[in-house]
């Protein structure tokens, strides 16, 4: 559809909607809704199509910026019923052997889905294809999931939500920190207070992708410090990331926050794996 045609539809649908409304004023609430809301919705869709000509990246419908609600809802793949109560990984014993042998500094962490299929593609676009707008549907999706598993996440009783900070040079190159964008939306949806600068990078680390478990652990150890702005003393904090792998990054964040006086740290990621 050419853009001028979309704009024509925008006005034509809106004008005909207004005329019909005058003629059917006594036709009841349903008619009013159909008369007013439908043209507005159509106009909004036409406008979105102008702004986002590709529409939803999965179904291609021009119903929203890059990812429609229906496709977003289908992205998550459930984990097996039995997961470690601490790290959230599928396990046969609770908590898992690794968490028993070496308890992490966080209380518990959960991912919404394994990193696979269309979710992996969407996250790849979110991170590497300049699609910060995906934060809105993905953040809403993560918030809905968090509400469903709130008993595993301290009943979502948190004083602050924060994100895993990115190296400044990497953030400048990308233009945004996808974990920050995601966490902002999720916190807002959950009506929780968001504080983006509780943590900062203390040292330069290699990207975790492609490293073995032990390498990830030593690479990320001591990577973060609490900024003290604001103080975290006595607070319960939720750290949000887009993808978690071994949990080593969250653990390093939790160590820094606990050292700064945080009462409890929990983690939440959109996907686990990678």
| Interface residue list for Zn ion (CB under 5 A) | 56, 58-59, 68, 71, 84, 86-87, 95-96, 99
Is 148 buried (19+), middle (13-18) or exposed (0-12) by CB count in 10 A?
exposed
For residues 99 and 86, is the Cβ–Cβ distance under 8 A?
Answer: yes
Q: Please, what sign has the CA dihedral across residues 118, 175, 187, 87?
A: positive
CA distance 162 to 146: 15
Rounded to a whole number of angstroms, the minimum distance from the CB of residue 95 to Zn ion is 5
What minimum distance in Å lies between the beta carbon of 211 and Zn ion? 19
Q: Which is nearer to Zn ion, 41 or 231 (CB)?
A: 41
User: What is d(CA 187, CA 206) in angstroms, rounded to the nearest whole number?
Assistant: 28
Please, what is the minimum distance in Å from the beta carbon of residue 79 to Zn ion? 13
Closest CB 84 distance from Zn ion, rounded Å: 3
Q: Nearer to Zn ion by C-beta: 72 or 198?
A: 72
Q: Distance between CA 186 and CA 15 in Å, rounded? A: 37
Nearer to Zn ion, 141 or 226 (CB): 141
Place of tokens 């820094």: 256
* Between 71 and 255, CB nearer to Zn ion: 71
Q: How far is the CB of 232 from Zn ion (least distance, A)?
A: 24
Record the tokens describing residue 256, joined without a space.
Answer: 């820094």
**Cα distance from N-terminal residue to C-terminal residue, the chain:** 38
Q: How far is the CB of 216 from Zn ion (least distance, A)?
A: 15
The crossing angle, in degrees rounded to 10, of helices 178-189 and 135-148 is 50
**108 three-state secondary structure:** strand
Question: Which one, 75 or 84, has the nearer CB to Zn ion?
Answer: 84
Asked if 207 and 223 count as a contact pair (C-beta separation under 8 A), the reply is: no
E strand residue ranges, the chain: 108-114, 160-163, 199-201, 224-226, 236-244, 264-272
In the complex, minimum distance from the CB of residue 103 to Zn ion, in angstroms, rounded to a whole number: 9
- The three-state secondary structure class of 107 is coil
Closest to 74 (Cα-Cα) out of 113, 110, 109? 113
CA 97 to CA 168: how far, in whole Å? 36
Closer of 87 and 111 to Zn ion (Cβ): 87
Residue nearer to Zn ion on the CB measure, 99 or 260: 99
Minimum distance between the CB of residue 240 and Zn ion, rounded to whole angstroms? 19
Q: Would you say 69 or 130 has its CB closer to Zn ion?
A: 69
């Amino acid at each position: 559809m050419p853009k001028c045609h979309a704009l024509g539809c925008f006005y034509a649908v809106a004008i005909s909607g207004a005329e019909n409304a005058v003629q059917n004023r006594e036709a009841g609430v349903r008619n009013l809704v159909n008369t007013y809301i439908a043209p507005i919705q159509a106009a909004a869709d036409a406008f979105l199509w102008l702004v986002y000509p590709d529409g939803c990246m999965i179904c291609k419908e021009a119903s929203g910026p890059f990812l429609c609600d229906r496709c977003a809802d289908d992205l998550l793949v459930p984990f097996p019923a039995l997961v470690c109560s601490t790290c959230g990984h599928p396990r046969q014993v609770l908590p898992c052997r690794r968490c028993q042998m070496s308890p992490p500094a966080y209380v518990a962490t959960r991912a919404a889905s394994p990193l696979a299929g269309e979710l992996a593609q969407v996250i790849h676009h979110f991170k590497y294809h300049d699609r910060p707008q995906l934060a809105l549907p993905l953040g809403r999706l993560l918030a809905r999931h968090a509400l469903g598993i709130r008993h595993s996440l301290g009943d979502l009783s948190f004083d602050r939500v924060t994100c895993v900070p990115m190296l400044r040079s990497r953030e400048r190159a990308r233009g945004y920190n996808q974990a920050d964008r995601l966490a902002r939306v999720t916190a807002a949806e959950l009506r929780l207070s968001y504080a983006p600068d509780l943590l900062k990078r203390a040292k330069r680390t290699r990207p975790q992708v492609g490293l073995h478990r032990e390498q990830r652990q030593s690479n990320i150890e001591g990577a973060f410090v609490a900024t003290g702005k604001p103080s975290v003393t006595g607070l319960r904090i939720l750290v949000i990331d887009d993808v978690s792998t071994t949990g080593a990054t969250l653990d390093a964040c939790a160590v820094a926050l606990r050292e700064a006086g945080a009462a409890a740290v929990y983690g939440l990621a959109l996907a686990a794996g990678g």
